[in-house]
Amino acid sequence: MAHDHHHHHHDHDHDHEQDPPSDIALRVKALESLLVEKGLVDPAALDAIVDYYEHRVGPRNGARVVARAWTDPAYRARLQSDATAAIAELDFTGRQGEHMVAVENAPGVHNVVVCTLCSCYPWPVLGLPPVWYKSAPYRSRVVIDPRGVLAEFGTVLPADTEVRVWDSTAEVRYLVIPERPAGTEGLTEAELAERVTRDGMIGTALL
């Protein structure tokens, strides 16, 4: 139900005229112009917010945290004892990352994160959540059938692996620290960060 808006992106590739703006796009534009006219919002601040969420936060941030944890045992220990402070060392702070907890995958233990009640997600390290994370199918099913949902992502776990589902019901936000892939011993921290995926840090994928 949440996927019809993808069409707008693809239309940009074509030469012919774009579709007229959708009803909701027009209504949003009308509301913005009203709020600007009343002095309730600064249009430049809106531009800055969009830019921030498109460019300043995203899974690249979380990947740096994971790579640091893999390569620096002292950092990993700080991440386990106070993840908010350890993540702030890399300058990832603020809204929806106020109380961070890092949960580590290990042989026999797999973590996966959800917010069944809304869409809570660690913005400073992962950016804004993907559509599927916010949608009813994932929110409803991952707590009752985590293995079935993970299999739909291509992630099949042994029956004796303990799957821990974290339902983000408060302001605590969870970052999954995936297991470091085999054969990466020679890689630098920056190269390791390239191997870390968004879904790996939500827990729906393995690396």
Identify residues 24-63 at the interface with another protein (CB under 8 A): 24-25, 27-35, 37-42, 44-50, 52-54, 56-59
Catalytic annotation on 33?
Answer: no
Catalytic annotation on 119?
Answer: yes
| 81, 169, 184, 188: which one binds another protein (CB under 8 A) | 169
CB of 181 to another protein, least distance (A): 19
Part in contact with another protein (CB under 8 A); list of ranges 61-69, 96-104, 175-183, 184-192: 96-104
Q: Which is nearer to another protein, 16 or 38 (CB)?
A: 38
Q: What is the residue-wise DSSP string for the chain?
A: ---GGGHHHHHTTSSSPPPPPPHHHHHHHHHHHHHHHTTSS-HHHHHHHHHIIIIISSHHHHHHHHHHHHH-HHHHHHHHH-HHHHHHTTT--STT-SEEEEEE-BTTEEEEEE-SSS----HHHH-SPPHHHHSHHHHHHTTT-HHHHHHHTT----TTSEEEEEE--SSEEEEEEPPPPTT-TT--HHHHHHH--HHHHHTSS--
Q: Which is nearer to another protein, 6 or 16 (CB)?
A: 6
Q: Which is nearer to another protein, 50 or 156 (CB)?
A: 50
Part in contact with another protein (CB under 8 A); list of ranges 63-71, 73-81, 154-162, 184-192: 154-162
